[in-house]
Amino acid sequence: MRTFESVEAIEAAVGEDLGTTDWVQIAQERVDRFAELTGDRQWIHVDVERATASSFGSTIAHGYLTLSMLPGFAGELYTIEAGSARLNYGLEKVRFPAPVEVGSKIRATPRIKEVRPVSAGTQVVVSWTVEAEGAERPVCVAESITLVLP
């Protein structure tokens, strides 16, 4: 676990990988709970029988479920304690190059991409690559932005 206690410490880490998380298995129960919470009940996520007969061969996780796991992944590897508060500011360049088959395991690797001053404080941009065990392509690539308030 890496702790960043100042903006300067974050700036010094630009370009560094912050490690790789443990594998997390994506069970159908997790996908079903996400579907209930979001109202996204598309059959490819929740209808096991129909999805098994599809070209995917199984149900697949929502892309946004994978994306929503980034804060938990971050908590495994690093924390930012600089400033008076840290807020999720947004995302840039989110892509889902490959599906996450239900039952597979995923893990994430973050890298600090950029630190930029803004009128409200400092934005920290972290580039994420999420991979599925045994997959050739990542299942999610994204850039998250944290606003560090003075």
User: Other CB atoms closer than 10 Å to residue 69's CB: what's the count?
Assistant: 21
Asked: is 2-149 a CATH 3.30.420.240 domain? The reply is: no
Question: Which pLDDT band holds residue 129 (cuts at 50, 70, 90)?
Answer: very high
Across the range 43-60, mean pLDDT stands at 97
pLDDT of residue 54: 96
Name the residue with tokens 């508060």: 85
Question: Which pLDDT band holds residue 53 (cuts at 50, 70, 90)?
Answer: very high
Kindly tell me the burial class for residue 77, based on how many C-beta atoms sit within 10 Å of its own C-beta (0-12, 13-18, 19 or more).
middle
Residue-wise pLDDT for 71-126, tens only, equals 999 999 999 999 999 999 999 999 999 999 999 999 999 999 999 999 999 999 99
pLDDT of residue 11: 98
Task: Indicate the SS3 state at residue 90.
Answer: strand
Question: Which pLDDT band holds residue 49 (cuts at 50, 70, 90)?
Answer: very high
